[in-house]
Amino acid sequence: MAAIFRALFVGLLLCSACNLLEGHKPLNLLLFRRIVTDYNSKYVSNYEASVSADFTTINFTLNIMRTITVDVWLRATLAQRVSKKENSYRNVFTYDVNLCHIMGKKKGQSIIDFWLDNVMRNSNMPRQCPFKEGNFTMLNIQSDKETIPRFIRSGSFSIDSNVYMRQWHNDNLTNTIIYVDIKKR
């Protein structure tokens, strides 16, 4: 579940303004550099992510120990590195969305729907709420270069996401930081 939200987060953040600013150079390359994960051991017994050797895909493993019976929310922030210092990033934008509402809707044509389909393609993750306990994987998730907003310039970015349950006192489920490099021609 968290993995789907992390990958969805990448899609949401990088794809939210896909058709803005016509005439910018097309994307040449998006590389996943590193992923840092953490989880709440009250709900999750394992949450891992890995980046492929060529840095173009990511894989997630998640073990949910108990059924999550409330809506799950995603707070995600895209930030761009502003200097060579490791932690020197400037926020570009932040989302805070109810993932259960997004997943519960009929299939649409939005960027969110596109990314959710992309993330779920090679996954055994639940496709609706509530999320039942179990072992889940999401494999070979990659960015569709055509859906990255044109206003995003070449550079290094962090995608910081927190999956949480508002109704359970904003209790965290997982946290993920994905570091990516975007290079445009």
Closest CA relative to residue 24, chosen from 144, 158, 159, 154: 154
DSSP state of 118: H
The pLDDT of residue 107: 61
Q: Phi then psi for 13, rounded to 5 degrees?
A: -70, -45
Average pLDDT, the chain: 80
Closest CA relative to residue 179, chosen from 65, 64, 69, 49: 49
Domain coordinates of the chain in residue numbers?
2-184
The model's confidence at residue 83, banded by pLDDT at 50, 70 and 90, is confident
The model's confidence at residue 87, banded by pLDDT at 50, 70 and 90, is confident
The encoded tokens of residue 40 equal: 């709440």
The pLDDT of residue 2: 45
The model's confidence at residue 101, banded by pLDDT at 50, 70 and 90, is confident
- Residue with the bigger pLDDT between 105 and 91: it is 91
The pLDDT of residue 115: 64
What CATH number does the domain located at 2-184 have? 2.70.220
Rounded-to-integer distance, Cα 60 and Cα 36, Å: 11
Statement: residue 139 has pLDDT above 50: yes
pTM of the model: 0.79
